[in-house]
Structure 1
Amino acid sequence: MIRLAEIQVILVLLVAISSPSTAQSLEAVDQWIAEALANNAALGAQKSSIEVARAGVDSSDTWADPVFKYGIAPETLAGPNTVGHRFELSQQLPWPDQLSASRKAAEAEVIAARQDTQWRVRQLTASVKGAYAQWWFANEAIELHHETRALVEQLAKVSDQRLSYGVGSQSQMLRVQTELDTLDARLVELKADQARLAGKLIPLLGRRPTDSNLQLSLPPDTPLVSNGRNGMDHPMIEAAQAREAEARARLEIAETNRRPAFTASAGYNSLWADDSKRWMIGIGIRIPFSGQRQHSAVRKAAAEVSQHQWRTTQAHREWLASIADMKASVQAGYDRLDILNQRHLPNQRAHWEASLNELASGTGRLEDAINSARQLNGVKLARAAIIRDLYSARAGYEALLPMDTTDVSN
Structure 2
Amino acid sequence: MFSALARLSLVSRIIIAIVLGGLVAYFIPEAAGYVSILGDLFIKALKSVAPILVFILVLASIANFKVGQGASNLKPILLMYVVGMLLAATTAVIASNLFPSTLILTIDPETQLQPPSSIAEVLKTLLLNFISNPVTALHEANFIGILAWAVGLGMALRHASDTTRQVLTDIADGVNHIIRIVISFAPLGIFGLVVATFAQAGLDTLEHYAHLIIVLVATMAFVALVINPILVAIVMKKNPYPLVFKCLEESGITAFFTRSSAANIPVNLDLAKRLGVSETTANVSIPLGATINMAGAAVTITILTLAAVNTLDIQVDMTTMIVLSVVSVVTACGASGVAGGSLLLIPVACGLFGISSETAMQVVAIGMVISVLQDSTETALNSSTDILFTAAVDLSRK
TM-score tier after normalising by the smaller chain length: under 0.3
Give the TM-score normalised by the residue count of structure 1: 0.21
Larger Rg: 1
Q: Which structure's residues are more often strand, by fraction?
A: 1
Give the TM-score normalised by the residue count of structure 2: 0.22
Q: Which has the higher contact order (CA 8 A, sep 6+)?
A: 2
Q: Which structure's residues are more often helix, by fraction?
A: 2
